Structure 1
Amino acid sequence: MGASDAEQRLEFQPGLTWRSMLAMVLAGLIFLPASTYLWLAVGAGASTAATYVTVILFSALARIYGTRLSRQELFIIYSIVGG
């Protein structure tokens, strides 16, 4: 048990990649102004929904193009877009 634990190495991956930057820019250009307008016009915000929609949308787009977003990238997108 000790030998297998010593052989396992933790490998850290960056979360701030071009894909997560693209998701943040598009969320800033599309979802945040729409949420602000909705809040000003109706009095109800949609920022929580915009966060989940952004994460799900970019995760699905990555799968369509044959790659997957890492957990680190999804966390960066969720934390930056969400607040």
Structure 2
Amino acid sequence: MSESLERMLAFARRIAYEAGQITLRYFQQEVTIERKADASPVTIADREAERYLRTAITAAYPDHAVLGEEDGLTG
């Protein structure tokens, strides 16, 4: 694996871990479940984790697009 891909993989692992930490703050807590336009459920934990991931990816890789479950495609 090239050094560039190794750095990207390390970055992806780090931000995935951090997003997991965000969602764990809501574990076994009462959370409100909202419905998206397609009627699928979404929670504040989902939204905060995706917001963190989008922000981190955009900061590190401004030329990359991000496709997420909650907010779709950006970039």
Q: Which has the larger radius of gyration?
A: 1
TM-score (norm 1): 0.42
* Bigger share in strand: 2
| Higher RCO (CA < 8 A, seq sep 6+) | 1
* Bigger share in helix: 1
TM-score (norm 2): 0.46
